[in-house]
């Protein structure tokens, strides 16, 4: 009966370590030295792209509609809205909410220092001032915003017809400083607006909760911090 040769444990360990060293060195070697062609590298890259993961959430697959062409697209859609709604319509909503929150954050801080010299406008805390201002002022804001929404879209408010004429999401033709004259600058400002809008949405939510819990305006809370009782 033939016997199988036994490899000493020390020899096996040295062999494994040698292969590991070779693999480590190969990782830092140029493709030309390793005989790897450009075509094979391109094929490997294409294979990786087919298994693309979300940049924002690497443990999830990238949503099919989020291909990175829109400004600020990092593949973040954990609830899958882009699978059911038009992506342009979603971006329009995101931009409008971001713009409103940017104005809201500025309004919260401004109102704390400047109030109209009229009855009902003296409260510095926005969450309380909402219920003390005259109802006519609130209706005025409501109808003004509604008119802007209808007129800026030409009466087209549904995802099916809002962009039928090729309008870009968030583009209302308002550019008094002509920032869109340079295409590179326009791309940069688009991303900047989106990031500021997202930050403002988070910030406005934080301000609202802070005022509801502490009964203090934002700047007053920063200057005279009081922990929750």
Q: Give the pLDDT confidence of 55-80 residue by residue, as tens digits.
A: 888 888 888 889 888 989 989 998 99
pLDDT of residue 135: 85
Q: List the one residue out of 228, 223, 214, 210 whose CA is nearest residue 105.
A: 210
Per-residue pLDDT for 44 more than 70? no
Please give the angle made by the CA atoms of 106, 107 and 109, to the nearest 5 degrees.
Answer: 70
pLDDT of residue 105: 94
Average pLDDT rounded to a whole number, residues 160-177: 85
pLDDT of residue 194: 94
Could you give the C-alpha distances from 218 to 99, 103, 202, in angstroms and in order?
20, 15, 14
Average pLDDT rounded to a whole number, residues 90-119: 90
pLDDT of residue 137: 82
pLDDT classification of 6: cutoffs 50, 70, 90: low
Average pLDDT rounded to a whole number, residues 146-159: 83
Helix (H, G, I), strand (E, B) or coil at 45: helix
In this predicted model, what pLDDT tens digit does every residue of 128-139 receive, in sequence order? 888 888 888 889
Mean pLDDT of the chain: 79
pLDDT of residue 45: 44
Asked if 202 and 209 touch (Cβ cutoff 8 Å), the reply is no
Measured N-to-C along each axis, helices 183-214 and 87-113 cross at an angle, to the nearest 10 degrees, of: 60
Cβ neighbours of residue 82 closer than 8 Å, sequence gap 6 or more: 63, 64, 65, 66, 90
Number of Cβ within 10 Å of residue 223's Cβ equals 9
pLDDT of residue 195: 95
Q: What is the DSSP letter of 34?
A: H
Per-residue pLDDT for 166 more than 70? yes
Which carries the bigger pLDDT value, residue 9 or residue 212?
212
Which carries the bigger pLDDT value, residue 134 or residue 11?
134
């Amino acid at each position: 009966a033939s016997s199988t040769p036994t490899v000493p444990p020390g020899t096996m360990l040295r062999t494994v370590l040698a292969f590991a060293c070779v693999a480590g060195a190969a990782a830092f070697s140029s493709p030309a030295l390793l005989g790897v062609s450009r075509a094979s590298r391109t094929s490997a890259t294409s294979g990786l792209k087919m298994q693309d993961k979300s940049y924002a959430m690497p443990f999830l697959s990238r949503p099919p509609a989020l291909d990175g062409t829109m400004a600020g697209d990092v593949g973040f859609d954990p609830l899958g809205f882009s699978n059911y709604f038009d992506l342009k319509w979603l971006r329009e909503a995101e931009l409008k909410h971001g713009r409103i929150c940017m104005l809201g954050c500025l309004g919260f801080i401004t109102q704390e220092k400047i109030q109209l010299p009229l009855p009902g406008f003296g409260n510095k805390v926005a969450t309380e001032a909402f219920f003390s201002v005259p109802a006519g002022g609130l209706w005025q804001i409501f109808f003004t915003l509604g008119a802007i929404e209808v007129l800026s879209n030409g009466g087209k408010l549904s995802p099916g017809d809002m962009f039928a004429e090729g309008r870009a999401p968030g583009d209302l033709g308002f550019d008094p400083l002509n920032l869109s004259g340079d295409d590179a600058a326009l791309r940069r400002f688009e991303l900047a607006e989106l990031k500021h809008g997202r930050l403002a949405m988070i910030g406005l939510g934080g301000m609202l909760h802070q005022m509801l819990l502490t009964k203090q305006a934002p700047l007053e809370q920063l200057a005279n911090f009081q922990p929750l009782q």
